[in-house]
Amino acid sequence: MKKLINAPEKVLSESLDGFAAAHADIVTLGAEKKFVRRKTLKPGKVGLISGGGAGHEPLHAGFVGAGMLDAACPGQIFTSPTPDQIAAAIDAIDTGAGSLLIVKNYEGDVMNFEMAAELANGKVLTVLVDDDVAVEKSTYSTGRRGVAGTLVVEKLVGAAAEEGRTLKELHALAQAVNSRTRSMGVALTSCTVPAAGTPTFTLGDDEMEMGVGIHGEPGRRRVKLESADAIAAELVESIVHDLEPRNGRDCLLLVNGFGGTPLVELYLMVNAATRILRGRGISVSRFLTGNYVTSLEMAGCSITLTELDSEFARLWDAPVHTAALNWR
């Protein structure tokens, strides 16, 4: 195992210190590094909180800031944050309008966020993100997994929260965005969790895992490596079959790298996916490409499609200023 670390047990703590130093104009660390918080809170605004195991950076801490999250709770690598972390974050960012918890559908995350909501003093609602069409159930989740579509939910709901919408309104919006978002990924290599020191799974040089999860959990099947066009076709067809975009609606296309795939290949996948979608009469008017919801150094990518209406498009275009997303 070759990694830029000092000791496996210090990876998260030391990384958080570096993150907070590099983005001190945007974020600050909570007590005992339990959470990353937006440096300047907006009075009267509903607080948005998400979180999950480290190793998926920039998710979630990289999306803390104006126009997205107010706080993110990082757990150890691929491990859910604890209820006390989440409860502390809820209390720290509550300015009186309540808090919305945006939770990826993994059993540990769901359980711990639910416990934290019960511990919290203010009003709290929770939305589960379950955009992965690869498998209905896995050892990590009950029902579909929450993957890169989480970013889309956080961005659109974050923009709406900045406008001053109520907790109830934001909860309904988050559910609506999740219902119109689907994802599926493919792995070309495994990743190595520092504490384990060995790859999570093994793939032959001519193999890939179709439908892989962001922790390296199995997907639909292991198959022989194919061309980018063939991979994109299977991912897109699976997503479109499930999402069933309505005629005349534009879509947002997110091609997300898992940490070990260069941008030249990700943009190649954007080209392939866009051609396939347009061949099916589906227009893409918004794009995002890069490593946003990663799995340490895993090679591969996921494709996410969100069906847009005028409100969703406006909220996507709204200003955002975070470590990982920044536009005016």
Residue 168 pLDDT greater than 70, yes or no: yes
60 among known catalytic residues: no
In the chain, residues under CATH classification 3.40.50.10440 are 11-180
The answer to whether residue 114 scores a pLDDT higher than 80 is yes
Query: 193-209 pLDDT, tens per residue?
Result: 999 999 988 899 999 99
DSSP reduced 3-state for 214 = coil
pLDDT score for 259:
97
Q: H/E element holding 54?
A: strand 47-54
State both tokens at 297: 């150094």
Catalytic residue among 60, 171, 215, 241: 215
Query: Which token pair is 276?
Result: 């396939």
DSSP letters of 219-275? -SEEEE---HHHHHHHHHHHHHHHH-PPTT-EEEEEEEE-BSS-HHHHHHHHHHHHH
* Nearest-angstrom CA–CA distance, 119 and 138: 28
Cβ–Cβ contacts within 10 Å for residue 98, how many?
20
pLDDT given for residue 186 in this prediction: 98
101, 127 contact by CB (below 8 A):
yes
Provide the CATH topology of domain 11-180.
Rossmann fold (3.40.50)
Sign of torsion, CA 109 22 58 249?
positive
pLDDT at 139 over 70: no
The 10s digit of each residue's pLDDT in 173-193 is 999 999 999 999 999 999 999
Average pLDDT, integer, range 26-33: 97
How does strand 71-77 pair with strand 36-38? antiparallel
What confidence tens digit (pLDDT) does each residue in 204-240 have? 999 999 999 999 887 888 999 999 999 999 999 999 9
Active site residue 215: yes
The mean per-residue pLDDT over the stretch 61-80 comes to 98
Of 88, 170, 72, nearest to 121 by C-alpha is 88
- pTM of the predicted structure, to 2 decimals: 0.96
Handedness of CA 308, 135, 86, 118 (dihedral sign): positive
What average pLDDT does range 162-168 have in this prediction?
98
- Please give the structure tokens belonging to residue 171: 């909860």
The whole-number average pLDDT for the span 146-155 is 98
Position 303 pLDDT exceeds 80: yes
Segment 36-47 shows an average pLDDT of 97
CATH number of 181-320: 3.30.1180.20
Catalytic residue among 56, 171, 241, 321, which?
56
Residue 52 predicted with pLDDT over 80: yes
The arithmetic mean of pLDDT across residues 26-55, rounded, is 97
Parts of the chain belonging to CATH 3.30.1180.20: 181-320
121 vs 101, residue with greater confidence: 101
